[in-house]
Amino acid sequence: MPCPRLLLAATLASSVFIAAHAATATTAASVEVDARDAPRGIERVHLVLPVKPGKLTLLYPKWLPGEHSPDGPVSGLSALKFSSNGQAIVWQRDADNMYAFHLTIPSATRSLDVAFEVDAVSGATDNNALRTSTESLALILWNQLVFYPAGAQSDDLQYTARLRLPAGWSFGTALPQVSSAGDTTQFAQVSLTTLIDSPVLSGRHFKTVELGATPAVHLHLAADSEAALDIPAATTAQLRKLVQEAAALFGATHYNEYHFLWTLSDQLGFEGIEHHQSSDNRSAERSLIDEDLRRSEAVTSLLPHEYAHSWNGKYRRPIGLATGNYDSPIRGELLWVYEGLTQYLGMVLGARSGLAAPTEARDGWADAAAWLQTRKGRDWRPLADTAIAAQIGYTQAHEWRPRTRATDFYTESAMLWLEADTLIRSTTHGAKSLDDFCRLFYGPPSSAPKVVPYDFNDVVQALNTVMPYDWRGFWTLRLNRVQANAPLEGLAAGGWHLAFAAEPSPVEKADGALEKMTNLYYSLGVTLKDEGAVILDVVPGTPADAAGIAPDSSLIAVNGRKYSKDVLQDALKAGGDGPRALELLIQKDEMFETVELQYAGHARYPRLERDTAAPDLLTPILSPRTQ
Ligand SMILES: [Zn+2]
* In contact, 595 and 547? CB cutoff 8 Å: yes
> How many CB atoms neighbour CB 382 within 10 A?
16
Alpha helices in 251-301 (DSSP H): 291-294, 297-300
Tell how far the Cα of 313 is from the centroid of ligand 1, in angstroms: 8
Among 406, 434, 409, smallest CA distance to 419 is for: 434
Tell how far the Cα of 271 is from the centroid of ligand 1, in angstroms: 10
Tell how far the Cα of 98 is from the centroid of ligand 1, in angstroms: 27
Tell how far the Cα of 274 is from the centroid of ligand 1, in angstroms: 7
Tell how far the Cα of 303 is from the centroid of ligand 1, in angstroms: 10
* In contact, 585 and 557? CB cutoff 8 Å: yes
Tell how far the Cα of 66 is from the centroid of ligand 1, in angstroms: 7
Tell how far the Cα of 490 is from the centroid of ligand 1, in angstroms: 21
Tell how far the Cα of 339 is from the centroid of ligand 1, in angstroms: 5
- What does the angle CA 556 – CA 557 – CA 562 come to, to the nearest 5 degrees? 95
Tell how far the Cα of 418 is from the centroid of ligand 1, in angstroms: 17
What pLDDT is stored for residue 20 in this prediction? 40
- In terms of residues, how long is the chain? 627
What pLDDT is stored for residue 574 in this prediction? 86
What pLDDT is stored for residue 22 in this prediction? 40
Q: What share of the chain is helix, strand, coil (3-state, %, to 5)?
A: 35, 30, 40
Tell how far the Cα of 312 is from the centroid of ligand 1, in angstroms: 9
Tell how far the Cα of 340 is from the centroid of ligand 1, in angstroms: 8
pLDDT in tens, 340-372: 999 999 999 999 999 999 999 999 999 999 999
Tell how far the Cα of 345 is from the centroid of ligand 1, in angstroms: 10
- Could you say which DSSP state residue 312 is in? B
Tell how far the Cα of 605 is from the centroid of ligand 1, in angstroms: 26
Tell how far the Cα of 49 is from the centroid of ligand 1, in angstroms: 33
DSSP-assigned states of every residue in 560-598 = TEE--HHHHHHHHHHTTTSEEEEEEEEEETTEEEEEEEE
Tell how far the Cα of 80 is from the centroid of ligand 1, in angstroms: 33
Give the residue ranges of the chain where pLDDT is below 50.
Answer: 9-26
- pTM here is 0.95
Tell how far the Cα of 497 is from the centroid of ligand 1, in angstroms: 26
Give 2's contacts (C-beta < 8 A, 6+ positions apart). 270, 271, 272, 298, 301, 302, 305, 306, 346
Give ion ligand 1 contacts, CB < 5 A.
Answer: 1, 339, 342
The radius of gyration of the chain's CA atoms, rounded to the nearest angstrom, is 25
Residue 152 exposed, middle or buried by CB count within 10 Å (0-12, 13-18, 19+): middle
What pLDDT is stored for residue 126 in this prediction? 53
Residue 397 exposed, middle or buried by CB count within 10 Å (0-12, 13-18, 19+): exposed
Tell how far the Cα of 1 is from the centroid of ligand 1, in angstroms: 3
Tell how far the Cα of 338 is from the centroid of ligand 1, in angstroms: 7
CA distance 534 to 112: 52
What pLDDT is stored for residue 123 in this prediction? 54
